[in-house]
Amino acid sequence: MGHRRHRAGLITGASSGIGAALGRELARRGTHVVLTARRVERLEQLCGEIQSAGGSAEFHELDVRDVAGLRAFIAELDERLLEPYGGLDLVVANAGVGLADHATRLQWGPIETTLAVNVVGAFATLHAGLECMLPRGRGTLAGVSSLASLGGMPSAGAYPASKAALAAYLETLRMDLRGTGVRVTDVQPGFVVSEMTTGERIARPLPDWLLVPVEAAAERIAHDLEHGRAICSFPATQNLPLRALSKAPRFLWRALMGRFGRA
Between helix 236-247 and helix 250-262 the angle, nearest 10°, is 130
Under 8 Å between Cβ of 186 and 230: yes
CA 153-155-156 angle, to 5 degrees, is: 60
Among residues 59, 73, 123, 159, the one annotated as catalytic is: 159
- How far CA 119 is from CA of 43, 105, 122, 166, in Å, comes to 23, 23, 5, 6
159 is catalytic: yes
With H, G, I as helix, E, B as strand and everything else as coil, classify residue 29.
coil
φ, ψ of residue 204 to 5 degrees: the values are -140, 100
Under 8 Å between Cβ of 104 and 25: no
Distance, in Å, from the CA atom of 155 to the CA atom of 210, rounded to the nearest integer, reads 20
Distance, in Å, from the CA atom of 46 to the CA atom of 218, rounded to the nearest integer, reads 15
Strands (E), the chain: 7-11, 31-37, 57-61, 88-93, 139-144, 182-189, 231-234
Chain centroid to CA 41: 21
Enumerate the active-site residues: 159
